[in-house]
Amino acid sequence: MELLITIVSGLFLLVGSFLCLSGGVGIIRFPDFYTRMHAVGVTDTLGSVMILTGLMMQSSDLLVIAKLIMVLLLILLVGPTTSHVLAKAAFHNGLQPKGLSTENKHNNKESSSSNT
């Protein structure tokens, strides 16, 4: 039984670290701000959840597990929110996703100026 728990938690830790690493690769390789943020935001949340679950399996102390669950809840709540806020701030400041043509940019500017 103990062996099984060790193996499963090890798998969780490994997959979690891989996800975090892939997020790190994504932030370097992806072309513009929004895709980069997407890469980190998605993989980071799942990766840290995996790592925390793996750690929870390894600890026998109930208090430690409770604390890890608190951290897990915090990450689940805060991670997506920060990605959302970042994207929103970038969009409000007029950062265009790469690949939109210059024509589109022009149209957007006109419509935004007419709104205000």
Partner 1 sequence: MINIVLLSLLVVVAIGIIRMKDLFAVVMLTGIYGLLSASFFVAMDAVDVAFTEAAVGAGISTLLMLVVITMTGRKEKATRHKPFAALFVVVITGGLLVYGTLDMPLFGSADAPIHNHVAPRYLNDSMQEIGIPNVVTSVLASYRAFDTFGEVVVIFTAGIGVLAMLFAHRRREEDEKLAAINDSMHEKHLVIRIVTKMLIPFILLFALYVQFHGDYGPGGGFQAGVIFSSAIVLYAMLFGLSAARRVVNQGFIQLMAAFGVLCYGCVGIASLLNGGNFFDYNVLSNDPVAGQHLGILLIEWGVGVTVASIMIIIFFSFAGRREIQQYVEQNKNKESV
Q: What is the closest distance, in whole angstroms, from the C-beta atom of residue 78 to partner 1 in the complex? A: 7
- Dist CA 1 CA 9 (whole Å): 12
User: What angle is formed at CA 76 by the lines to CA 88 and CA 55, rounded to 5 degrees?
Assistant: 140
Q: Closest CB to partner 1 among 49 and 76?
A: 76
Q: What is the closest distance, in whole angstroms, from the C-beta atom of residue 53 to partner 1 in the complex? A: 21
Binding mask 83-112 for partner 1 (x = CB under 8 A): -xx--x------------------------
Name residue 15's amino acid.
Answer: V
Q: What is the closest distance, in whole angstroms, from the C-beta atom of residue 1 to partner 1 in the complex? A: 31
Q: Closest CB to partner 1 among 70 and 100?
A: 70
- Dist CA 79 CA 69 (whole Å): 15
Footprint of partner 1 on 29-88 (CB under 8 A): 77-78, 81, 84-85, 88
- Dist CA 86 CA 44 (whole Å): 15
C-beta of residue 33 within 8 angstroms of C-beta of residue 90: yes
Q: What is the closest distance, in whole angstroms, from the C-beta atom of residue 23 to partner 1 in the complex? A: 16
C-beta of residue 9 within 8 angstroms of C-beta of residue 57: yes
Which residues contact partner 1 (rule: CB under 8 A)?
77-78, 81, 84-85, 88
